Structure 1
Amino acid sequence: MKNLAFRVSALAGLALVAGCMTPAERGTEVTRFHLGDVIPVQAVTMEPADPEDANSLEYTQYSAIVADALAGIGFTPAQLDEAEMVAVIGVERGTRDEPPRRSPFSIGIGGASFGRSTGVGLGTSVGLGGSRGGEVNVTELNVALKRRSEGTVVWEGRAIRASEPGTEDPTTTVQRLASALFQDFPGESGRTITVE
């Protein structure tokens, strides 16, 4: 009986942990596209997807994050006129409403007593976890690697992350997006994966 009570208690704990997970804890969705050709590491320069962002402090910060992520896989960040490869960077931030989620876990609680010829039974099921829904922050990082001389895009990727308001600052979110985006570069083309 003690073992059964311990198992029920442990399952309840796991359900509560799973149900309390925020969108940020569910990971980052990553999708990448390329032609399957080898993309040699080389000098690369950063460029905003929207030219109007070129001198903004926000873009400067985000491009430095992407440059660091590319350096981590062997690319060498360079000035505009020193690189054939260009990383075109776009970051979009917004919000969306998420509906409440029911927990996939429930625990049944029941009991019964039986006499010689009569019996009484009681049973109930309690749902654990879930989420109340509401507004979440959504950040999307898009990066395309293209050859400057001909404008051909050789690789592009998108990473999306949702987080509860107040749980992540924008810089931390973009760092996580960039890290996920270039993990196992170039990645499987056309497949969406979740990176924790």
Structure 2
Amino acid sequence: MREFELFRDGMGGTVRIAAIPSAAAVLLPLLVREANERYPGIRIEIMDSLAQVALAGLLNGDVDIAITTSSNLPDSVLYTELLEDRFAVIHCSDHPFTTQKQVTWAELARESLVMFDGNSSIRTLTDAALTEIGASADITAEASSIPVIAGFVSAGIGVAAVPRTCHPTDDGSGHPLNPTRHARRCAPRRYRADSRAIGVPRMHSDRGSAP
């Protein structure tokens, strides 16, 4: 909320926020409601975008706040993590995974997979997880949005690994998609490949505005 206070105190009347779609759907509604109640004179503009696009918007000055993942951040950026977003598997209700409490990446690799496309930060993580265990994906379809991926899954085309903040509980046509959790943790770098960090990057010069 510190950013909204700065705008209230004279920096401007519009706060521009770029957020990855899952954050825009899960985190921002409550944030915006609270901001509207506390700072009614501020207008909030929200753009849902890919992780790298949200970060670029912040670096270029096109947006005031970015909510994105922690991957590929330049040294000029400070990062405040808001939550750890663990992955889940979505699949049709008659899939054998339904009887399992957990699904490993190795088990997932033996399935036909519906994947996010190569521009998505989610795809980067799923590729890293499969590479870590020496597995290659049998990709039957790729898409850029969770509704499309859920549609492919509900049609029986394959299963998909998605962050828990954006996995559906129903595909809209009455066919439940049952989530189970990944069990394997495999992260060669800054985070585990079975989860991702979602947070707020800031330029070093903005250190004083951090909450």
Q: Give the structure with the higher percent helix.
A: 2
Higher relative contact order (CA 8 A, sep 6+): 1
Both structures adopt the same fold (TM-score exceeding 0.5): no
What is the TM-score when the length of structure 1 is the normalising length? 0.26
Q: Give the structure with the higher percent strand.
A: 1
